[in-house]
Structure 1
Amino acid sequence: MTDTYEDHPPRLGSLTFHGPLSEARATRMIERIAANAPATVLDIGSGWGELLLRVLEAAPGSTGVGIDINAEDLARGRVLAKERGLADRVEFVEESALGTTRGPVDAILCLGSSQALCDPEQPHDPAVALRELRRLVKPGGRVVLGEGFWQRKPTPEEFAGMWPGAHEGDHLLLGPLVDLAIEAGFRPAWIETASAEEWEEFESGYRHDTETWLAAHADHPLADETRERVDRQRSTWLNGYRNVLGMAYLTLVPVG
């Protein structure tokens, strides 16, 4: 049998951004970054780097690097860069961000990826990630951090419905998160949070292609495994962190 795309569960094809981020919010973020005329841009945990590519388009002459450990996403980014005429201005690199030496730069994007800056053997600590971001950004530069936070303390029932081992220490409330950014040597120039609509667009888009594939491939050898994974993902959202876990987008300016 011919090995085609349709023979395998598709992945993330309906997502523009790998996170709860609308076109309108992304445009405003890009405008704020581009207004600072960055020459160098680093995207930590870039995936396919949609936001990175748009920043480079908005800031003529700028160059960028996207780092991630997912080769498939990086390959998608390279294709997008070529299609947009940006292949000579951006590099997508498969490597860990832990202790990275790819700074200092004028602008950093780190959306939903701060764990990449932390020791994987230790609990995720946003304070550590923020200190790393401060190390990697040039004076006068900009950092856009997308970080999860609790909109309120989850109930025991909600914790039970989330990812295995979920507990209160997994995230902070928004106020303490912003305080950590200030302690790390930033001023929060812009504070915004993803809306319920952005979350629903992301969560549904995350599974859309796979759900459609499952409906058409119920007897496929990979169907049971794929169905179990997707059903588990959807349940952690609907029965766990929906309307509890938020996403903060902080535009940070280094002090001094």
Structure 2
Amino acid sequence: MDRQELARLAHTHHPIAAPLADQSVAALLRRALRSGDERLLELGCGQGAWLLRALAAHPELTADGVDPDPAALTDARIIAEHLGVIRRLGLHHRPPAEFSAPHPYDLVLCLGTGEAFGGLLPTLTAARRHLAPGGTLLLGEGYWQRPPDQAALAGLGGAAADFDFDDLPTLLDRITADGWTPIHAHTSTRHELDDYEWSRTGALAEWALDHPAHPDAAQVQRLATEHRTSWLHGYRDAVGFVTLLLRQAN
């Protein structure tokens, strides 16, 4: 089972691929969508959960989603057809960093997609390239809640403490130094962080238990156990997540 398929499986019960509760997602979208007829773009949309919620709630919206996983885009298309919003949704199979559009967007979403662009500042540059004047960026980023120890770093696969994350004040300093102004933010709660991790590891473990004869069952069960151990014994108390609404001066 490849990485993309495992990611889809892990988010079976938590389609928003970030530690945010449904009410937090709804509140962020309400705050971001000021007129209800915006043009949206999500870079790294996966199965399109953010875009589909926005389109279902606002019949005048149009949206584009970009992702390198064709199966995730197929899932997004099926759900969009079921919701009756497919005519307002464009889906693009390509790496987010390679996407170009003939028009700008009122709202760009980049949620935990820094790896696709090579870090925070390249992500901000990519978003800026797609934003219309006066547009808004919805950015989701992890950060260190406390200085990481070796267990936290090991739990994240040996991440370098000075590269992958900043503490929250430093993260905001870097963003504002790049010319962005925060107009709203949501800091994920302990409940949201825990719910997300339990959902991910639980979905994998449940699938393995339900498909014991599948050739990938042992691999999926092992990954569920490794993820749970890395989280509980490693980064649980070290990593936070913030979702920011950002604008630039015209």
Q: Report the TM-score when normalising by structure 2.
A: 0.89
2: CA distance between counterparts of 1:165 and 1:185? 27
1: CA distance between counterparts of 2:34 and 2:151? 45
Unaligned runs of at least 5 residues, structure 1: 1-7, 119-123
2: CA distance between counterparts of 1:104 and 1:184? 20
Give the letter aligned to residue 186 of structure 2: E
Q: Of 194, 201, 206, which aligns to 1:207?
A: 201
Q: Give the drift of 1:99.
A: 4.4
User: Once the two structures are superposed, what CA deviation does each residue of 1:170-211 show, in whole Å capped at 9, x if it has no partner?
Assistant: 111111211222222221001221111111221122232321
User: Once the two structures are superposed, what CA deviation does each residue of 1:149-187 show, in whole Å capped at 9, x if it has no partner?
Assistant: 111111123223331454342111111211222222221
What SS class does the counterpart of residue 98 from structure 1 fall into? helix
- Which region of structure 1 is more displaced relative to structure 2, 216-225 or 27-36? 216-225
User: Once the two structures are superposed, what CA deviation does each residue of 1:12-58 show, in whole Å capped at 9, x if it has no partner?
Assistant: 32123111111111111111122244531001110111111122233
Q: 1:220 to 1:54 in 2, by over 3 A?
A: closer
- Which region of structure 1 is more displaced relative to structure 2, 210-219 or 141-150? 210-219
Q: 1:166 to 1:176 in 2, by over 3 A?
A: closer
User: Once the two structures are superposed, what CA deviation does each residue of 1:119-175 show, in whole Å capped at 9, x if it has no partner?
Assistant: xxxxx4212211221222111111100011111111123223331454342111111
2: CA distance between counterparts of 1:79 and 1:247? 30
Q: 1:218 to 1:59 in 2, by over 3 A?
A: closer
Q: Which residue of 2 aligns with 1:221?
A: 215
Say whether the 8 Å CA contact 1:41–1:108 is kept in structure 2. yes
Say whether the 8 Å CA contact 2:184–2:245 is kept in structure 1. yes
Q: Report the TM-score when normalising by structure 1.
A: 0.87
Count residues with an aligned counterpart.
243
Q: Of 113, 124, 136, which aligns to 1:130?
A: 124
Unaligned runs of at least 5 residues, structure 2: 1-5
Q: Which residue of 1 aligns with 2:136?
A: 142
